[in-house]
Structure 1
């Protein structure tokens, strides 16, 4: 196990607030909710089963919270890449490789290498999300998977989105269109976090009165550990009741790279 950072590209500034990494631990209720939503859809689709000998890549992995969650199952090996060297240096020892890597550089050793890639709350930071998706799926084997999570509903766009470096929020339809325009075949596109919508609306109103330097902390950090625990209970209830929520604060997609 290693946390050595392999330099395939120069480190570069990214549209993401560094203070977010100090808050977004694998134990944070939202991080856990996202992880469970991803695992649920992958199991439902009968895809991305561990132990098949393939490697996965998380593009825009940041400080590696999702990689740590995925490694709860020891059969998974996931590499991670980002341009933010500060974030990558926060990753504890993991089984996969960690790269400073610009996917537009299309390094030969990385192309067609992976059975699946994860783009988790990444493409909303990118001006041209479709070209980024195209560059991402070049790293996947034919028939492999691309898993994308993005914030949902432009109505919820707030000072938090601006501080976090978001360019937009998505609907199920707009995410599906971006995937198809990038040459991917959507297998599932759906919302999660239905019961978080009123919380997000209240956050939007509250953050209008918060100074910019406090927006990330006040907008994402639970005010107390008990609140984090209560939100996890809330998560379990929603996931038990709503198997396919009609709306949510996030959109999750599982797509396949078409075989040539």
Structure 2
């Protein structure tokens, strides 16, 4: 979660963030062979996901926002630094795993960020990431969040043409896609602002259950569209 999310009243325990944590945990269980590896969490925000990542290795967290970095819980990371994804303060081949969940869309030159993340990965290191999907849904919500784009599969693959092997590319947040897509299209012409309504508890629980089930099945998902894309690439 970003510091600005908290300032807008977004709660880290809402259904989307719970689903995201379940997604991260599922992916790490599937792709981290042994605990204790060096993990770089790029764009860590305020570190609300760090307790999920911490059991899998030695976690290093970066974010360009100084106030957000100050809020990252120190007990869940070896180190936290103020840094953007284009200028990571680490030597070549430092990390076994790099994570960037909902980060690339905030970077104008996302291909340069991918290259920088590749630089700090070891050979055969993994880059695990998620991005918002469906470019046709881009609108006020995205602009308010500081997004430069939403992705389709070809757009995402285009940043990983040289020196990468694609291990996973799946749609996520698929069940709720029709409902969310309808609202996003309706809101496209609105001014650039993010509403943070707190859903009724029963709806939040139902939506959370849906995303948790999707997250747990992500590796074998056959979905053809969703609000996010999830990917795993191996450095070659």
Normalised to the residue count of structure 2, the TM-score between the two structures is 0.85
1:45-74 alpha-carbon deviations (Å, 9 max, x no partner): xx21342x3210111111112222223xx3
Q: Please name the residue that 1:33 is paired with.
A: 19
Count of residue pairs the alignment pairs up: 232
Rounded Cα–Cα distance in structure 2 between residues aligned with 1:211 and 1:186:
37
1:153 and 2:139 equivalent? no
Return the offset for 1:240: 7.2
> 1:156-205 deviations in whole A, cap 9, x for unaligned?
21211010011111112221222224x32111111111112123223325
2:195 match: 217
Q: Deviations over 1:121-175 (max 9, x none)?
A: 1111111111110011111111110112100001221211010011111112221
- Alignment of structure 1 residues 193-204 onto 2, 5 Å: 193-204=173-184
Whether contact under 8 Å (1:25, 1:65) holds in the other structure is no
- 1:130 and 2:102 aligned: no
RMSD of aligned Cα (Å)? 2.6
Instruction: Give 2:44's aligned residue.
Output: 61
| TM-score, length basis structure 1 | 0.78
Partner of 1:92: 73
* Structure 2: gaps spanning 5 or more residues: none
Partners of 1:77 and 1:228 in 2: CA distance: 33
Pairing 1:48–2:32 present:
yes
Q: Per-residue deviation at 1:252?
A: 0.5
Query: In structure 2, how many angstroms separate the alpha carbons of the residues matched to 1:176 and 1:209?
Result: 29
Aligned with residue 233 of structure 1, among 192, 209, 217: 209
| C-alpha distance 142-20 of structure 1, shift in aligned 2 (>3 A) | same
- Asked if 1:252 is matched to 2:230, the reply is yes
Per the alignment, in what secondary structure is the counterpart of residue 223 of structure 2? coil
Contact 1:17 1:163 in 2 (8 A): no
**Is the 2:38–2:59 Cα contact (8 Å) retained in structure 1?**
yes
Kindly indicate whether the alpha-carbon contact (under 8 Å) linking 1:20 and 1:217 is maintained by their aligned counterparts in 2.
no
Partner Cα separation in structure 2 for residue 140 and residue 76 of structure 1: 15
- Structure 1 counterpart of 2:164: 184
